[in-house]
Chains A and B, each alone.
Chain A
């Protein structure tokens, strides 16, 4: 069995999780402190990919990144790089699709963060960056980790948008999920089943990891006071399951 699809899936999911982690925290931090109107608007826009069919995301990405489309044409002429039908094109798809999970979980955690802690730090002379890094992030650790795990899981399982922006090229753009579809379509049920089992194993590991994180949130040391994450993560996890069911 050629393990390229597994390696590619892990590579894509890992890169996309790093991107989504930074982007999600930055935006969640800004939005959680924004006026209510801005928050409502930002929420709609930033959560949209969670409820859109992945094919719609794929279509919109192709309209943007295709070689004759604005961003794709620019990248081709300026960087000499294609943005579709290459392995890293999958990163664009998974970032868009998994971003809402990170964003919403982190935002939920940030919103239940006790603002007086930040106020206290600022009156003591600490910068806003220090507060985010040393107080807010540690206090919201569970929510942030849960969001990252969910985003990783979602990226790993992404099929619809990925198959549209990078197709299925064995040894080049194949991921676990596109391989399952391709093998089943060509009648290789045994091959497909092998990859299905791989997928199941990874998903179980991820969900166990999520439970461990949330278990710590519920019952860890001095937990109640510094883990405003558990419930938010759970709510988003439920949404995630729905979204993935739709995607696969």
Chain B
């Protein structure tokens, strides 16, 4: 499986400029970005139901779209399956006929047989005669998936497939879809704004922000070393400050009013720095010398050592989450810093109002803004 996408399309608010390659069939690629950043448009261009202004889309050596060569295959001939957010099942047909609509070849009996097989594989044989409106949200998505598999696609596009579901149902469907995708021999591209879904379902990820894609990275890399502000934010980094290099691996963080050491020499285009809320360590500030007092017992949990980086803060708000405590603290530079820890860990600090946060240099992430195409982007 190989998919090569290089497309541009002018949209109302920005220009979509998407560029990525998917090489391996056994890996799911995720397009991760906030709502309205052009993710779905990208998928629709690949499927052929929307037309890019210019560019190329090549799937397994077949050119699906090429504005220079004047190629624009209709969606019927692209063999790209599209799982819509809301299933897009035909409401006037029962489940069996919906799946039969996906079978491309054979007479009526053969198509019925194939549709039955796909439904059985999805353990949906009990609902053949029901209409989509009589199914649960999860069943609808599974029928839609059966319908796509019946059409023998070379690539499956998943457009926020879980967003219409919540809680437990969502989790159930996710487990089932993972099995389906593993059994599927082609490739898959997942569009989502949910970093946890990316973590669980995909191996490669491409961050997209206001229509600009960033270079493809592995999911592990995105979470360990995001390169841009957009990637950091979408991967769940809560603390970002403007920053500049002031010495050897020393970054002055303007919004926070502190200078932090980082582990690796930052990129010359660095403009910001990011810190994940749960990598911070906290200790009450000893009023006398401004140094942290003994760490609370919560800090016995395996966390990066604070190293030389200290950020003295004043606690502004303490928010009780479901399983953790979120602390918003005022930094010397005036910006708020978000710190997350287990409830017990915060309780051990005994309601301190002045706290010094520590952060290991390897957890200080230099970021750049507006350099999404850094290095080897396309023209």
Contact = CB atoms under 8 A, between A and B. Distances in A.
Interface of A: 114, 116-117, 119-127, 134-135, 138-139, 141, 221-222, 225-226
A235 B104 CA distance: 41
Contacts of A116: 84, 86, 88
Contact residues of A: prevailing secondary structure:
helix
Interface stretch (B2-10, B70-78, B324-332): B70-78
B230 interface: no
A120 B92 contact: no
B91 A123 contact: no
A138 B131 CA distance: 14
A222 B91 contact: yes
Interface of B: 44, 47-49, 74-82, 84, 86, 88-93, 101-102, 104, 131-134, 144, 147-148, 151
Nearest to A138: B92
B183 to A, nearest CB: 20
B148 A124 contact: yes
A225 B132 CA distance: 10
Candidate in A124, A138, A225, A226 with the most chain B CB atoms within 10 angstroms: A124
B101 A121 contact: yes
Contacts of A222: 91, 131-134
Given A117-B90, A138-B92, A139-B92, A123 B47 contact: yes
A114 B147 CA distance: 18
B84 to A, nearest CB: 5
Given A124-B101, A125-B104, A119 B75 contact: yes
Nearest to B75: A122
B104 A120 contact: no
A125 B133 contact: no
Nearest to A118: B49
Given A124-B104, A124-B151, 7 more contacts: A119-B49, A120-B88, A121-B101, A124-B147, A125-B79, A125-B102, A221-B131
A21 B148 CA distance: 34
Contacts of B89: 120
Given A116-B86, A120-B82, A225-B133, A125 B76 contact: yes
A124 B78 CA distance: 9
Contacts of A117: 88, 90-91
Given A127-B76, A134-B101, A121 B86 contact: no
B75 A226 contact: no
A139 B132 CA distance: 13
Contact of B84 (A120, A126, A134): A120
Given A135-B90, A139-B92, A119 B76 contact: no
A126 B76 CA distance: 6
B92 to A, nearest CB: 4
Contacts of B76: 122-123, 125-127
Contacts of A125: 76-77, 79, 102, 104, 151
Contact of B81 (A121, A123, A138, A139): A123
A121 B48 CA distance: 12
The 10 closest A-B pairs by CB, nearest first: A222-B133, A120-B88, A226-B91, A138-B92, A119-B49, A122-B75, A123-B82, A124-B102, A116-B88, A125-B104
Contacts of A123: 47-49, 75-76, 78, 80-82, 151
Contacts of B133: 221-222, 225-226
Contacts of B81: 123-124
A140 to B, nearest CB: 10
Contacts of A120: 82, 84, 88-90, 144
B12 to A, nearest CB: 14
Candidate in B101, B134, B147 with the most chain A CB atoms within 10 angstroms: B101
Nearest to B153: A123
Nearest to B79: A125
B94 to A, nearest CB: 11
A121 B90 contact: yes
Nearest to A135: B90
A122 B92 contact: no
A116 B151 CA distance: 17
Contacts of B77: 125
A132 to B, nearest CB: 13
A128 to B, nearest CB: 9
Contacts of A114: 88
Nearest to A127: B76
A222 B92 CA distance: 9
B75 to A, nearest CB: 4
Contacts of A221: 131, 133
B91 A225 contact: yes
A61 to B, nearest CB: 39
Nearest to B102: A124
Contacts of B75: 119, 122-123
Given A134-B101, A226-B91, A226-B92, A119 B148 contact: no
Candidate in A116, A120, A138, A139 with the most chain B CB atoms within 10 angstroms: A120
Contacts of A122: 48-49, 74-76
B148 to A, nearest CB: 7
Candidate in A123, A125, A135, A222 with the most chain B CB atoms within 10 angstroms: A123
B151 A119 contact: no
A122 B48 CA distance: 9
A119 B82 contact: yes
A234 B365 CA distance: 61
Contacts of B144: 120
A222 B89 CA distance: 13
B88 A119 contact: yes
A138 B133 CA distance: 15
B147 to A, nearest CB: 7
A117 B101 CA distance: 12
Contacts of A134: 90, 93, 101
